[in-house]
A and B are shown apart, each in its own frame.
Chain A
Amino acid sequence: MVLTTAVRTMPWLRVLQWWLVFLAALLPLVSIGYDAWIFNLGADPAKEIVDHLGRWALYFLWITLAITPLRRLLHWGWLQRYRRMMGLYCLFYACLHLLAFATFIVGWRWDLLLTAFTERPYIFVGASALLLLIPLGITSTRGWQRRLKKNWLRLHRLAYPAALLVLVHVIWLIRSSYFDAVIYGVLLAWMLGYRLYLKRTS
């Protein structure tokens, strides 16, 4: 509370907060890059990197979707300022996830890439989610917000089906433990459910 009032009254604190959040969100990339650099990723660094980037893409999407409910429930208006950044970080990590997969796992072998995208359901769903996220990233600027007016909000509701597709992506690659998927699923159900509740009661 003290912090939020301070941020409101002192603009430079606001700038500082923005930079802190911006840099903190880069830490997952720095840490995996560092581990790769010092060969600390074990026998299969490729898989470690792909999984790590995929998980952080998911976390940022979930954080993005959590902002509306949290802002309302906790009355933290300042959260709103970070929604775009979180969304763009999701896209950033998702693109790196795909790039790492294509480079480190399949070594840009086009025959393997083609079968991966056409025959592997979990990759197909992951790719569909990414396809939904890309236009959201492109239209995330103020300019596009102004140009699209009401349609901007409608367009950006694509984040919900994208999140569902990501959840399916994760469920589909489970070998035996549902633990992570259950946690992600419960959180997503709560975040989407809260929106439905708002709509009903408004």
Chain B
Amino acid sequence: MLIKKPDDIRPSEITPESVYLNRRQFMRGLLGGAALAASGTALALPKPEFDGDLPVYPGPDWLQAQLRAGERNTELSTDEAPAPYQHAIRHNNFYEFGTRKTDPSRNAQQFVTDPWSVEIGGEVGKPGTYPLEDLLKPYRLEERIVRLRCVEAWSMVIPFVGIPLADLLKRVQPNSRARYVEFTTLHDPQQMPGQRSVFSTLDWPYVEGLRIDEAMHPLSFLAVGMYGNALPPQNGAPLRLVVPWKYGFKWVKSIVKIRLVEQMPNTTWNRAAPDEYGFYANVNPAVDHPRWSQATERRLPSSLFQPNIIDTQPFNGYGEQVAHLYRDLDLTKWF
């Protein structure tokens, strides 16, 4: 497939949104998904198609300016059709805001995500607490359409906007003792009702981690936006991890702390149920969750007439890019 390089004129600046959205739909129908991806570069950061009362998350001014300058990374995008916007913002696992899929979109609307700063520390040359705006300033945002595979055996295709994680890490200069990266979600029981629940098996704050070579991999991504806009609070605003070859629970949300460390981080789900959720959590159809199968997944949105069951791919279909990271690892032991 011919991959065009992004050009500098973004048609969103010269074409009214409604026109190019229609054109996009038209072309999707006419030429199919592959053509959409190829022409995607010319259609930078299309916004979702709004129907009436859907909430929109434009984000703070500084972010809006950066979103306008963003462009799609077609090489790292799938050509599968993204889920309709309303489903991506209303079907979330974000236990800080409740355990049902619709809880986060109900309970997170007042969540304050600006101003926001991220503490970066541990084995780095330039530790510090950085306002998110300053962290992002040097970069041009890119959009990547990726497959999100939840450990519960459903999946969704979502266009995220953000920066490669490696770019940010390199800027804070990890030293030779930095073997893992640990991410921590905000702990704020006042704002996050799930953190007040006495019936939860999870310890707060939520902690996730990556091996340093995983973190430096080009597929590891920090998202600040979705569907051309800012991240909605229920989707992990203002900053979340996107690691598309790993189960969704690794994609830690609303990050306030990033530490480079020597020891493997003690991650939240792994602590709660070590036999069910491993540190690596690479998507793997050959290793079942003890309580359900991982061989297939249901691609959402599904309809009652079409359960949309598809075979799960090793590394969620990103094996070509990432399988080499695990050459020496027994993936049934290190699931």
Contact = CB atoms under 8 A, between A and B. Distances in A.
Q: Which of the listed residues A36, A44, A174 has the most CB atoms from chain B within 10 Å of its own CB?
A: A44
Contacts, number: 79
B87 A120 contact: no
A179 B156 contact: no
B197 A177 contact: yes
Nearest to B87: A43
Q: Which of the listed residues A36, A104, A109, A176 has the most CB atoms from chain B within 10 Å of its own CB?
A: A176
A44 B154 contact: yes
Nearest to A172: B291
Interface in B66-97: 83, 87-88, 90-91, 95
Contacts of B83: 43
Q: How large is the interface on B (under 10, 10 to 19, 20 to 34, 35 or more residues)?
A: 20 to 34
A105 B90 contact: no
B99 A177 contact: yes
B301 A120 contact: no
A26 interface: no
B145 to A, nearest CB: 17
A112 B199 CA distance: 32
Given A43-B301, A176-B200, A182-B199, A104 B91 contact: no
Given A115-B293, A121-B291, A179-B197, A42 B307 contact: no
Contacts of B200: 176-178
Nearest to A105: B307
A45 B308 CA distance: 12
Contact of A107 (B87, B197, B309): B309
A190 B292 CA distance: 32
B202 interface: yes
Contacts of A182: 199
Nearest to B91: A43
Contacts of A46: 298, 302, 304, 307
B272 interface: yes
Contacts of A44: 91, 101, 154, 298, 300-302
A45 B303 contact: yes
B291 A173 contact: yes
Contacts of A119: 288, 293
A174 B303 CA distance: 25
B307 A107 contact: yes
A189 interface: no
Contacts of B296: 112
A107 B305 CA distance: 9
Interface string B15-29: 000000000000000
Given A106-B307, A178-B201, A179-B197, A42 B99 contact: no
Given A43-B300, A119-B293, A176 B307 contact: no
Interface in B282-328: 288, 291-293, 296, 298, 300-304, 307, 309
Contacts of A173: 291
Contacts of A177: 95, 99, 197, 199-201
A117 to B, nearest CB: 12
Nearest to B300: A43
Contact of B291 (A109, A112, A122): A122
A104 B101 contact: no
Contacts of A122: 291
A120 B303 contact: no
Contacts of B199: 177-179, 182
7 contacts: A42-B102, A43-B90, A43-B301, A44-B302, A103-B304, A105-B298, A122-B291
Interface of B: 83, 87-88, 90-91, 95, 99, 101-102, 152, 154, 156, 197, 199-202, 272, 288, 291-293, 296, 298, 300-304, 307, 309
User: Which 7 residue pairs spanning A and B have beta carbons closest together?
Assistant: A43-B87, A43-B91, A107-B307, A179-B199, A43-B301, A178-B199, A43-B300
